[in-house]
Amino acid sequence: MGKSFFSLVSDEWQSRPLDRLYPIVFLDAIHFKVRKDNRIISKAAYTILGINIDGQKDILGIWIGVNESASFWLGVCNDLKNRGVEDILIACKDGLSGFSEAINTVFPKTDIQLCVIHQLRNSMKYVSYKEHKPVLADLKKIYQALTLEEAELAFEEFKDKWGKKHPIIVRSWEQHWLELTTYFAYPYGLRRLIYTTNTIEGFHPQLRKVTKTKTAYPTDDALRKIIYLAIQDISKKWTMPLREWKECVSHLAIYFGDRFSLETMS
């Protein structure tokens, strides 16, 4: 049996040519129930939202999978490259396994920022209600610091104060420190945009409104089709560039030089 009209259209959309440069991309996953071999399993729809040179949002694609891995993300990154993407300046992600290795292979110059808010939420899972406020206050001193040096000092103070009681939190921040602190290299306007994946997370509740009536999807193709239709509807409202984008463009041009030149944009 052949594919439906909407399936063919969504396939065409998923393989459409993309821009040569995306200054910023955001990655995140949203989970759905899909039938497989008479069972219902959870599958992730991985979404990449790109910000183009004009500051406009665009969903670059949807990739459905069960497990994240470097090989899975390598396929995604190669897909972007095959569709015309030559450079990504900054990639903002949640804790997606294997993504950093993959993007470093395909787009080796891309800076990676791990979502600080996700890291914060994960850290607070290990904290009792009584200690919640003081631990959170001390973690905020790290990510709200004005400079990387100030953040490093705040982290050292956090380790001295809480290290023995909360070694899991300390280990996690140490393990992800480089990707958690990428944003300190940029001016304030850019920092505020990239230190969290809120830009893409705001898209997910809109997607849930469209998909909430269905408890499970018969196939990956059926899930992809409904997400595609939802994206077409949601993206109609994305008519304006991000706020303060002009300021961000100036900073990107200074920080990334030739990679963000007028020739690159043409």
Query: Strands (DSSP E) along 68-202, which ranges?
Result: 87-93, 111-114
- Residue 111: Cβ within 10 Å count: 19
Instruction: Decide if 203 contacts 30 (C-beta within 8 A).
Output: no
Task: Just give the CATH number of 1-115+197-252.
Answer: 3.30.420
Domain definitions of the chain by residue range:
1-115+197-252, 117-191
What are the pLDDT digits (tens) for 48-57?
Answer: 999 999 999 9
What's the pLDDT score for residue 5? 62
Q: How far apart are CA 21 and CA 30, in angstroms?
A: 26
What's the pLDDT score for residue 181? 97
Q: At what angle do helices 203-211 and 220-234 cross, to 10 degrees?
A: 120
Note the pTM of the prediction, 2 decimals. Answer: 0.91
What's the pLDDT score for residue 3? 64
More confident residue, 207 or 139: 139
Q: How far apart are CA 170 and CA 186, in angstroms?
A: 25
Query: Strands (DSSP E) along 116-265, which ranges?
Result: none
What's the pLDDT score for residue 266? 46
Q: DSSP 3-state assignment of 43?
A: strand
What are the pLDDT digits (tens) for 14-47?
Answer: 999 999 999 999 998 888 888 888 888 888 888 8
What's the pLDDT score for residue 162? 97
What's the pLDDT score for residue 221? 86
Does residue 125 register a pLDDT over 90?
yes
- Beta bridge pairs of residue 93: 27, 114
What's the pLDDT score for residue 258? 87
Instruction: Read off the pLDDT band of 2 (50, 70, 90).
Output: low
